[in-house]
Amino acid sequence: MSIERFHTAGVADFSLERDRAKIPDNFKWDITAIYSDDASWKNAKQRFVAELPEIERYRGKLTESAQTLFGCLDLVSRLGKEYTRLYCYASMNSDLDTRNATYLGMEQEMSALGADFGAKSSFIEPEILKVDKSTIDAFIASEPKLEIYRHNLYDTLRRKDHTGSEGEEKIIADAGLMSDAPGSVYNIFSNADFPFAEIELHDGKKVKLDQSAFALHKSDANRDDREKVFAAYFGKLNEFRRTFGTNLFAEIKKNMFFMRARKYHSCLEHALDGGNIPVAVYKGLIDNVNANLDTFHRYLKLRKRLLGVDELHYYDLYAPLVKDIDLKYQYDEARKHVLSSLAPLGDEYIDISRKCFDERWVDVFPNEGKRSGAYSNGAVYDVHPYILLNYNGKYDDVSTLTHELGHTMHSYLSNKHQPYPTSHYSIFVAEVASTFNEALLMDYMLKTISDPGVRLSLLGNYLDGIRGTVFRQVQFSEFELAIHERAEKGEALTGDGFSKLYDTIAKRYYGHDKGVCVVDDMMQIEWAHIPHFYYHFYVYQYATSFTASAALSEQVLAGDTGTTKRYMQLLSSGGSDYPIELLKRAGIDMTTSLPFDLTMKKMNRAMDEIEQILAKKT
């Protein structure tokens, strides 16, 4: 008999309801806080377009005085804040139904406007680079309002060698008209237009395997169903490998254009330099993971043992680890567990989190055409962050909820404590807050549950999290680096080429040739399932952030009030300094292997406890 963990028996479950109109409003975003309606959005857009030419009056005059420099930066910052607000309203509405041509059109209008905005302001950095740091310091001394731009001005000077002339900067900005094409095509094709496979499960139930349904059924307890789900889903993706391959190669070539235009040696160097991240951090992470594959293989062997299978396959990686235990949580119970787990961070943190739930910051359930996955959007500075979920009632969904809430709190606190120019935190530090919340949730659940079977399930889920956030993301990172390096050498890449390379890397990570886990041939196409390959070297930061948050959360959970205070300061720091420096102030040095080493120790401790529980059961 399965254990089903629901809080309120009378609350309806809308995770299987695909008709958005039938989902109650309290489970949906209230986007009217951004603009009251489409007409208000259009009026705001018209005002933005009318004011955009004002930037031109500063051309050629930036270095005349501190007041002129401030006037220009203040105007561009204000326009940037409004542009982001306009774009978010369009894109977030589009994400709720990717088939809706109206919001797709509005999003495309904003992309074009963004390119125009970039072109009109393209003279700013080249003009700033005509002066040195001492001049900037003198300007700030004479015009204190410039202080909020100090870090950004210094950063502009730091990137001098990668900033072109005014004409070159305009060309680079104009390239924005087409630069989002590969990602946009992927989003629409994979979410709205893709002909998803339909299958029949062992109980006769027929399922259309869209991305939300795949996310739900890839963890089915019935092994034959799992294999069928994987075969159908990835089999259908494979039919379109040429299209996916052509589109991904277009994304890589776009990255190469900007890399060359910015005079970097590689796409990786270009991607990391925005946050002043040493290339050695990225490559060191890959080296650390490859040096610890034995630890990963220990986890895989434990999974095989817990599942009781003769041979572990890739389609077994999401299966429930413990038979007869099916951890399920309706949304209201998930919310209560999340809020309770946040106690170590104090009342203010919990009170703001509660507002997130009570004031409709979250769009909870899947619906037909809704963008897959989950995210937090905290870019609308004057409002509040928003969370998109596709909640299916699994423990993974509870973990995803607190993960995205971590992003939301990071954005909320940064927006509250930082002026707009320094409110946007680096991607490198973005995943610290989210994975920190996950660590708090796991600690809370383990402290409140004594049943050995449930503890096994939760510990297994924690290990699955390390697999997914550290090893899997670094596997993606290694693949992403490899495909860019090949393209930079002039090699052509097709769908079949991507699949062959992906297969080679995946088999090494999962110990295929050592008999640890069989990476079935159908998994070669998994790269086409990953939207993050259109985010320009994003995924490695899941792993670096996870290791940073593992080290920080250990200290906070141990009652270290100094670390808790430094952590809250980190969440309130936005982009006021480079992420490596912000993390150092919080007590974590990401240029060393120590955070990764601590994570591996924590992973082995969890596996030790699992083995102890299993020993008592035999």
Q: Which residue has the tokens 């930079």?
A: 488
Burial class of residue 439, CB neighbours in 10 A (0-12, 13-18, 19+): buried
CA gap 71, 81 in Å, rounded: 15
Pairing of strands 198-200, 386-388: unpaired
Catalytic residue of the set 107, 169, 251, 404? 404
User: Could you confirm whether 404 is annotated as catalytic?
Assistant: yes
- DSSP one-letter string for 102-140: HHHHHHHHHHHHHHHHHHHTTTHHHHHTTS-HHHHHHHH
CA gap 76, 226 in Å, rounded: 52
What lies within 8 Å, CB to CB, of 284 at 6+ separation is: 593
Q: Which residue has the tokens 């890397």?
A: 505
377: helix, strand or coil = strand
What lies within 8 Å, CB to CB, of 334 at 6+ separation is: 391, 397, 398, 401
Using CA atoms, how far residue 468 sits from 427, 471, 546, in Å, is 18, 6, 11
Report the amino acid identity of residue 408.
T
CA gap 162, 179 in Å, rounded: 19
Measured N-to-C along each axis, helices 495-509 and 293-307 cross at an angle, to the nearest 10 degrees, of: 80
CA gap 106, 94 in Å, rounded: 9
The edge-to-edge listing of strands for the beta sheet with 375-377 is 362-363, 386-388, 375-377
CA gap 28, 360 in Å, rounded: 6
Tokens linked to 372: 């897959």
Q: Which are the catalytic amino acids?
A: 404
